Structure 1
Amino acid sequence: MTWPVRLGLLALVLASYWGAYEHGRSVERSQAQAASAQRDSGDRLAEAVGERAAREEEQRRAKAQEEARAHAHEQHQVADAGAAGADAAGQRLQHDAGQFAASVSCPGPDTAAVARGQAATRAAMVLSELLARADARAGELAKAYDRARIAGLTCEASYNALTKPDG
């Protein structure tokens, strides 16, 4: 074999090795790109699922808080209606006490009895006024208690809605 033929065969063998090497790199690159694309697709899918779950949780929490606010509003209406009923009963009681205090006086010829009647009338009027003040203050305290209780329950319901999943 001649030298140029040997050199040609050597070039042909080197070219075939080079071609096989480049083909292997090409296959490896395409596999790496496919794996990267699959991983990126999985990441995008996980991100979308995570966003959807976060949105659903946010909507659940908002709904639970809105329900707590609506329940608090209903409780306020019930408490206000109860307070209005208690105020009406208190006014009737005060009216009756005022009428009783006015009727305590006993007119008559006996001056001692008239003096006792006037003292009793003054005492009944003082007690009637004291009853009116105590009733008004009790109404104020009951309203404040109802509002504080409703606010506390609403706060607790809102907190539970934020911290407890599907509770």
Structure 2
Amino acid sequence: MKTLALRLGLLALVLASYWGAYQHGRSVERAEAGQASAQRDSGDRLAEVLGERGARAEEQRRATAQEEARAHANEEHQVADAGAVAADAAGHRLRDESAKFAAAVSCPGPDPTAVARGQAATRAAMVLSDLLTRADERAGELAKAYDRARIAGEECEREYDALTGQQKTGL
């Protein structure tokens, strides 16, 4: 019986040692998996932080480029407005000169046929002066509208290029 008890005790001891070795292996494996997971999570956080920094830098670059495009458009608007003022002044001078010319065409005289021709010439000069005035005003309106549309289109193009990161190789 002693030998049986000794054999059972020895068998229990062997089983306990195998069980202990198995549990130790599992704990080592869990620790290694936890360490690998922690390293992966740390790398993920680092990549996230670097990605956020890159995204912020790109956002800042785009915002700066858009602001530059708006500032450039404002400068172009000021130049166009100054040009429009100069064109309006020249148009006023031209209209004044045409009105003076229309007024100077009438020349009263003793000959009734000359008076009739003078009145017809005066009416024709007044019509032409009025047409010139209207054409000049409309041309000014169209020029201002064209300038606004051109400047807005160029600003839009510059902002789009800034957003997409394209550089215009320009004219």
Q: Normalization by structure 1: what TM-score?
A: 0.91
CA distance in 2, matches of 1:166, 1:157: 9
Shift of 1:70: 1.5
Aligned residue for 1:74?
75
The alignment yields a C-alpha RMSD, in angstroms, of 1.8
The structure-2 alpha-carbon separation of the partners of 1:67 and 1:60, relative to structure 1 and needing over 3 Å to count, comes to same
Aligned residue for 2:124?
123
Residue 149 (structure 1) aligned with residue 153 (structure 2): no
CA distance in 1, matches of 2:161, 2:145: 24
Give the aligned length.
Answer: 167
Letter in 1 for 2:128: L
- Percent identity between the two aligned chains: 76
The structure-2 alpha-carbon separation of the partners of 1:43 and 1:80, relative to structure 1 and needing over 3 Å to count, comes to same
Letter in 1 for 2:28: V
CA distance in 2, matches of 1:73, 1:156: 15
Residue 106 (structure 1) aligned with residue 107 (structure 2): yes
The structure-2 alpha-carbon separation of the partners of 1:165 and 1:83, relative to structure 1 and needing over 3 Å to count, comes to closer
- Higher mean alpha-carbon deviation, 21-30 vs 44-53, is at 44-53
Aligned residue for 2:51?
50
Residue 17 (structure 1) aligned with residue 10 (structure 2): no
Aligned residue for 1:91?
92
1:11-61 deviations in whole A, cap 9, x for unaligned? Answer: 222222222111111111100000011111111111111222222222222
Instruction: Report the 3-state secondary structure (helix = DSSP H, G, I; strand = E; otherwise coil) of the residue aligned with 1:2.
Output: helix
> Is the 8 Å Cα contact of residues 161 and 167 (structure 2) preserved in structure 1?
no
The structure-2 alpha-carbon separation of the partners of 1:166 and 1:97, relative to structure 1 and needing over 3 Å to count, comes to closer
The structure-2 alpha-carbon separation of the partners of 1:2 and 1:166, relative to structure 1 and needing over 3 Å to count, comes to farther
Letter in 1 for 2:93: R
Q: Normalization by structure 2: what TM-score?
A: 0.89
The structure-2 alpha-carbon separation of the partners of 1:27 and 1:165, relative to structure 1 and needing over 3 Å to count, comes to farther
Aligned residue for 2:31?
30
Give unmatched runs, 5+ long, in structure 1.
none
Give unmatched runs, 5+ long, in structure 2.
none
> Is the 8 Å Cα contact of residues 69 and 159 (structure 2) preserved in structure 1?
yes
> Is the 8 Å Cα contact of residues 66 and 162 (structure 2) preserved in structure 1?
yes
Shift of 1:130: 0.7
Residue 138 (structure 1) aligned with residue 143 (structure 2): no
Shift of 1:8: 2.7
CA distance in 2, matches of 1:49, 1:165: 23
The structure-2 alpha-carbon separation of the partners of 1:87 and 1:70, relative to structure 1 and needing over 3 Å to count, comes to same
